[in-house]
């Protein structure tokens, strides 16, 4: 992402679980900020001070705060004029561990925590910058990449790429005014159906979270269906590392809009956590996240998303799911106005530059996106 005139470049997380755009500014003098690229407003001729204060507290106890400002931003060839964003003067570490400078929320305006402002996506639509009011996502797996993990995947602003999925796209209506939340019909592990309470049938589809989170009862039922899984009160669920090379249990399958979308159980094994032939599971309970034990719904992060092709439709307020094609070029692409299907101005998206801004389950789970997905 580029901000200002002349442009200053930053790396950001594209996060459908939040709605705010923020980056560190030169007023942030902490050691954390010194490791990141910081926006210098005095070097931009198009900068306008807003002055309103903002603050966000994340689930990992990190905090960012500062003041609001306006400037022109550019993402994959799309220029948004007078975008309001947060200049962080305090950043206690929410993105610094992975070298990512900030966050670009892809949620709804109603979910903004920095104030009554339009999101970048809203302004792309209002300023007539994209053909369709949608964002499509294709995420790669580390196992399908080179050793540099340079092919992280694609976000396409304003369209879909038919070469990345197999028809049809199944659309499911959003059930929340604030979140990308949908209803789950059923869940299976292999041929065994897991019982869903009415509350647990709601799921948020979140590109800004790496794992899958279940309410405690469902996380327990899921792992008990895996032979020899174990629970640790400090670290959560462990599964045999051998599960990474086995299909004996079957897949984790979600039924959405009457269609089945699966996650192979080999993907839930965090191999770099191996200890005595056991590995941490990438599916856990909200109970393991301090202050979130009362959560009753489901969060489907990149563990789920990387196994599908996902389309976020802002106008019709629905999410589309299709069978993913396993090979694709990395990058951030767009369907700019009057260039539908062209996919112009592609830039590389590094999977190493990734952060889990809303869900970090302790130090044991704070790995880089590309390293375990």
Instruction: Show which residues are catalytic.
Output: 15, 206
Q: For residue 107, give both structure tokens.
A: 């949620």
H/E segment holding residue 186: strand 186-189
CA atoms within 13 A on the CB side of 366: 16
**What is the separation of C-alpha 338 from the centre of its chain, rounded to a whole number of angstroms?**
28
Query: Which of 16, 13, 37 shows the shortest CA–CA distance to 26?
Result: 37
Supply the DSSP string of 9-23, one letter for each residue.
E--EEEETT---EEE
Q: Are 81 and 72 in contact (CB under 8 A)?
A: yes
CB contact set of 237 (below 8 Å; sequence gap of 6+): 219, 223, 229, 230, 231, 280, 281, 283, 284, 285
Secondary structure of residue 164 in the 3-state scheme = helix
> For residues 342 and 359, what is the distance between their CA atoms, to the nearest angstrom?
35
Q: For residue 153, give both structure tokens.
A: 């995947």
């Amino acid at each position: 992402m580029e901000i200002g005139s002349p442009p200053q470049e930053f790396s950001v997380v594209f996060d459908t679980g939040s709605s705010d755009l923020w980056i560190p500014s030169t007023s942030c003098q902490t050691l954390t900020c010194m490791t990141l690229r910081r926006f210098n407003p005095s070097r931009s001729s198009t900068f306008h001070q807003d002055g309103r204060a903002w603050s966000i507290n994340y689930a990992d106890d990190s905090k960012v705060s500062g003041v609001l400002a306006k400037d022109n931003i550019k993402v994959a060839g799309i220029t948004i004029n007078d975008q309001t964003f947060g200049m962080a003067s305090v950043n206690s570490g929410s993105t610094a561990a992975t070298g990512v400078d900030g966050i670009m929320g892809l949620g709804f305006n109603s979910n903004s925590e920095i104030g009554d402002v339009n999101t970048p996506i809203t302004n792309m639509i209002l300023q007539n910058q994209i053909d369709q009011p949608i964002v499509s996502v294709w995420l790669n797996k580390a196992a399908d990449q080179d050793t540099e993990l340079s092919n992280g995947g694609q976000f396409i602003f304003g369209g879909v790429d038919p070469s990345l999925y197999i028809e049809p796209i199944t659309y499911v209506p959003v059930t929340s005014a604030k979140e990308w939340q949908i209803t789950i019909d059923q869940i299976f592990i292999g041929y065994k159906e897991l019982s869903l309470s009415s509350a647990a049938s709601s799921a948020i589809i979140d590109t800004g979270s790496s794992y899958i989170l279940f309410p405690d009862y469902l996380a327990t039922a899921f792992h008990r269906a895996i032979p020899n899984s174990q629970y640790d009160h400090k670290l959560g669920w462990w599964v045999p590392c051998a599960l990474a090379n086995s299909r004996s249990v079957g897949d984790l399958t979600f039924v959405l809009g009457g269609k089945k979308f699966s996650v192979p159980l080999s993907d839930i094994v965090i191999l770099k956590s191996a200890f005595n032939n056991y590995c941490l599971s990438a599916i856990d309970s909200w109970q393991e996240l301090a202050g979130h034990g009362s959560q009753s719904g489901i969060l489907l992060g990149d563990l789920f998303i990387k196994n599908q092709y996902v389309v976020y439709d802002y106008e019709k307020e629905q999410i589309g799911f299709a069978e993913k094609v396993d090979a694709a070029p990395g990058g951030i692409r767009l369907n700019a106005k009057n260039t539908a299907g062209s996919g112009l101005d592609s830039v590389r998206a590094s999977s190493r530059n990734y952060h889990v801004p809303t869900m970090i389950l302790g130090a044991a789970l704070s790995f880089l996106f590309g390293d375990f997905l």
